[in-house]
């Protein structure tokens, strides 16, 4: 707890912009609890049962198609189609799944006509996820240099958004120079740290990100990765930075049906439930963009 107090004081000390930019919340902010590294149908079902209302899926291009993998050196054994079909099936049964964040790890391996191309992945999401009511958020490694980013940017529809990772000014600059045609509501940023308590830059960057969102320059701002031991930091950042949600779960492992993962999402849900005047968990009725 002493560490938390020290960090809170530091956050306030380096974040004088709050006094100039903070504004009272007059409506409930829909909060997204985004399950981290969902790489199998079983993980999809576990995340939904825990209360996740969005899913982050790591995807790697192999020569025969896309697989749910965090890196190009090993495969979880689950194909993108299997994951998408499980998500769509759950959504059609009434489960609360707002969007799937497709974290694309290797978007340059294949030509457009191949099953491992970004075009093929985009078409698969449009075939399976979007007709079921699940929106799609595309994220890329080294985004501004990625041909895959350009493919998605040029063909983006209203069900889809793009998320760029980094400090707020960097993200704004990237969107300005590479994504000016992307509707603002479909421009998303994320900024985080595997260890929330170790990153003094989280508060000012997230507060600034939510402020520029409120100024009409971004659609959403998310952070990551909240774990079982982070309830104080989660509550502080949700309350003070006005972000739209957290990626939660294991920091470096796949999502699973485990007590520590349940504890991680519980801190997000309990914060929303204990602040009903300003926050609530997002539902299928909330359009993320």
Q: Is 36 a catalytic residue?
A: yes
- 238 CA to centre of own chain: 15
If one counts every other C-beta atom within 10 angstroms of the C-beta of residue 215, the result is: 10
Q: Detail the DSSP E strand segments found in 47-196.
A: 54-62, 65-67, 99-104, 135-140, 160-165, 187-190
Pairing of strands 54-62, 65-67: antiparallel
Q: Which residue has the tokens 């929303």?
A: 272
Q: Which of 36, 50, 103, 279 is catalytic?
A: 36
DSSP conformational letter for 28: P
CA distance 257 to 273: 23
Nearest 5°: CA angle at 166, between 238 and 5?
Answer: 40
The residues assigned a catalytic role are 36
């Amino acid at each position: 707890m002493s560490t938390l107090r020290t960090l809170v004081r530091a956050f306030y000390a380096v974040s004088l912009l709050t006094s100039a930019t903070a504004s009272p919340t007059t409506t409930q902010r829909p909060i997204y609890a985004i399950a981290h590294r969902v790489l199998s149908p079983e993980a999809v079902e576990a995340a939904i049962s825990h209360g996740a209302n969005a899913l982050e899926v790591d995807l790697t291009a192999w020569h025969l198609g896309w697989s749910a993998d965090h890196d190009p050196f090993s495969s979880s054994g689950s194909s993108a189609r299997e994951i998408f079909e499980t998500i769509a099936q759950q959504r059609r049964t009434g489960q609360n799944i707002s969007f799937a964040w497709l974290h694309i790890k290797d978007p340059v391996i294949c030509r457009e006509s191949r099953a491992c191309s970004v075009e093929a992945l985009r078409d698969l999401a449009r075939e399976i996820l979007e007709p079921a009511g699940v929106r799609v958020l595309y994220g890329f490694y080294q985004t501004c240099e990625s041909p895959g980013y350009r493919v998605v940017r040029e063909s983006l529809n209203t069900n889809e958004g793009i998320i760029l990772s980094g400090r707020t000014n960097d993200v704004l600059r990237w969107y300005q120079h590479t994504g000016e045609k992307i509707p603002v509501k479909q421009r998303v940023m994320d900024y985080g740290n595997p260890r929330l308590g170790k990153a003094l830059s989280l508060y000012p960057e997230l507060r600034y990100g939510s402020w520029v969102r409120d100024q009409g320059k971004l659609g959403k701002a998310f952070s990551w990765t909240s774990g079982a031991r982070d309830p104080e930091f989660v509550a502080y950042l949700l309350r003070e930075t006005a972000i739209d949600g957290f990626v939660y779960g294991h920091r470096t492992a796949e999502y699973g049906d485990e007590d520590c993962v349940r504890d991680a999402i519980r801190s997000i849900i309990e914060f929303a439930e204990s602040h009903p005047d300003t926050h609530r968990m997002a539902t299928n009725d909330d359009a993320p963009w």
